[in-house]
Structure 1
Amino acid sequence: MKSYIKYLLLSGLTLILTVFLLNLGFVGTDLFAGKNLKIGSLFYSTITNENWLAFFGSFISGFAAFLLFFSNQKSLEHEKNKVKYENKMKKFENEKNIIFEYLSRLEINKIYSFLNDFQKIFCEDNTDKNELKYKCKKAISTYLSRREKLVELLNLIQLKLDVKTTLRENTNFALDKKQVYDNLINLRKLFEVLLEEVHSKIEKIERFSISEKEEINEIISILFDIKINKNKILDIVKDNKNLGLEKIINKEEKEEENKDEKIDNFNEIFEIYLKYTSNSIVEYFSILEKSELDKLN
């Protein structure tokens, strides 16, 4: 309250002093022009200089118009920047949607579901070999169709990722666009390693005549034995040493000798890389959005 009263008193004194000095200027010009003045004119000029008053009036009017124009220009510039910011946010949102659609296509359960049909067929208590052959043939046909559709969708979303996003461009941001793009590509490579492993198993099943019980047992063994070559995975994730995936991949060798160099903890590795990739995407867009917000402010 005291500071507010002090501010009012200071503003009032400044105004009075300004008026006094302005009037003193008028008095000076009147004396210079040889006009008769009274002593009180020091505080209030009775003989005003119309030219000076007209000048100050015009100046104040012009200055007020300039301030209004300047204010409008600033406001207009701010609105333009705001529109640019909103358009950028829409663009980022579109890119995010494409990227997360891409991630949604890399759902490994879709690959395992290819095997489910075969597991159900060969795990049933079914002694009719002809019926078993028919069901297996039908399941293979269904699998090939589903696999073709999945690959087609992957290629389509890959095209959208390349064409409708700017991830392939390099930048000076703390988190490189190219790195985010490479993470997404590596995730697809991991997905395709599993897809090829499942495909090779179904090709093996297709070669069986399914005429003997031993063959059926071997098929069941093939269906439930999903292991991935560790070197294929290491080659894909070799640039991501900070994730510690090599340690996870090699942990089985510490427990027992792994002669065929295959691992059965692929799901764990894929989930770690998926989480890492998702976090890098969130961080990347956070940097972009903050940068655009700083420009607006």
Structure 2
Amino acid sequence: PLRPRPFNASAAIRALFARAPPATLLLNSFEDNFRSRPSFLLVALEEAARLQRPPAVIAVCHNVAPFLDAHALVRARWPWLPLVAVALHPKMTAALRAATNVASVPYLLPSYFGGCARQPGRPAPPPLGPSPFQSGAVAFLAPGNIDPKRRSYALLLRLAPLRLERAVHIHFFGKCATQSYCDAFDGLAARARALNPSVHVSRGSGGFSLLFAAAQAADFVLSLTDESSEAYASYVDGKLSSSLAIALGFCRPFVGSAQLAEDVGLLKQPTFADDATLPFSQATAAADIS
């Protein structure tokens, strides 16, 4: 079994590699590391390339376009590093396969987000944190930044005339692209609540720990991706939808457009598979990390 050792600083990377050279280097947000913490990632790759037996680098793609830029840089700088590109849904595999000239690009069900809290026959794990939902309400989590250019919030008003047998709590988790978006969203949420007291809408943001706690407490994951927007093409071309990722990672029912799930190749895919059958095992085998 793999024994993961997380690290978050350049000094820690050097110390760890000197003490226990890794057999595998898993970069689960490859292109984001290049954009947000380039020195951190470059130090990790430089130290890996210096080892007598360089580790297999498994680079997980979240967004195809910037991923390919980062992939090309690593290939040019360290051509001897065993680099395996891994996609997070089947649609990504075709784009990565064509661009990297690799015959097979495995895809990984993103259960690294925290694992499935409701696997049949397994005890539920302890809560990851406080729940943002009202007790007794049907809980919907809508992850992703508040941005009307990419998402449609008309659903909130369409709920208004419905007679609901149970209260519904929709929790939006993400930052606002602009303050005006926040103001418009808060006004829409207040209007929906006034029209139907059974509908409660809240908004929050923060780190992954808060997001994961909300995902674990949710009954459903809600996607409001607007297929009519110009931004929708980026999802079809290989950008990971946060709602799909959380639904897959926490094994929550996905409430959204069948078009989105179909376009990324997930409409008929299982939301959970045993470790022995995960495509990730194919990636590690291809990288020869035994």
Work out which structure has the larger RCO, using CA pairs closer than 8 Å and 6 or more positions apart in sequence: 2
More helix by share: 1
> Rg: which structure is higher?
1
Q: Could you say which TM-score interval applies, normalised by the shorter chain?
A: under 0.3
Q: Which has the higher strand share?
A: 2
